[in-house]
Amino acid sequence: MGESAPGLWVFAYGSLMWRPDFPFAEAHPARLDGWHRAFCIVSRHYRGTDERPGLVLGLDRGGSCHGRVFKVGAADADTVLHYLRRREQISGVYREAHVNVRLLSEPHRQETALTFLAERAHPSYVRGLSLRQQANILAAAAGKTGTNLHYLVSTLHELRSFGIREPELERILVTLGPVRARTQAGTARAMLSRKDFEDWPRKPVLRLADVKRFTFRAHLGA
């Protein structure tokens, strides 16, 4: 394992890869084993609204994930940590974790990095959506930081910039072609509404301990 000066390493796998918005001293393509990238988080803020929710990426169990790891200097570490919590923990849907990531440029070098894992117990976590369902949602949703489609395309573009192909995300993009065409032609309703989300199977009522845990995470960045 590589030796490095004190500071903070951050593993990014979604918009943090191409829009970190924090100071860093180094950036490297990296791989995390044991977790994979998936559109498993419902977004009602950054890439969707209450009326038309979107989807954003989370790290879910199993497989592996290529992304970008940033080295933050010791002088900026506390400020960056606070910023990341404010950005990522709006609803407490992510669980902070320190994971071992392998640098692609130095396969024998590993760093321990902060990242944000999907919390399966949170009501904003979803899984089992088909490619068509995901494409419908991404085609329709937009939020505070832009459209859901821009989020998908920007993520794929960033991955391709360091030679990584993500077949699952690319299949969603291919599926989006006919979805958007039908929407524009007015021959079918390709967009999901709030009611569509409400019709999904509901999560069990959260225990009080879970409510407190998610609220605590959301307050970390306050």
Q: Is the pLDDT of residue 76 over 80?
A: yes
Tens digits of per-residue pLDDT, 86-139?
999 888 899 999 999 999 988 889 999 999 999 998 889 998 899 989 998 998
- pTM, entire model: 0.85
Among residues 51, 88, 96, 106, the one annotated as catalytic is 88
88 catalytic per annotation: yes
Q: Which domains does the chain have, with CATH numbers?
A: 7-212 (3.10.490.10)
Tens digits of per-residue pLDDT, 8-17?
999 999 999 9
HEC assignment per residue over the chain:
CCCCCCEEEEEECCHHHHCCCCCCCEEEEEEEEEEEEEEEEEECCCCCCCCCCEEEEEEEEEEEEEEEEEEEEHHHHHHHHHHHHHHHCCCCCEEEEEEEEEECCCCCCEEEEEEEEECCCCCCECCCCCHHHHHHHHHHCEECCEEHHHHHHHHHHHHHHCCCCCHHHHHHHHHHHHHHHHHHHCCCCCCCCHHHHHCCCCCCCCCHHHHHHHHHHHHHCC
Q: Is the pLDDT of residue 187 over 50?
A: no
Residue 51 is predicted with a pLDDT of 85
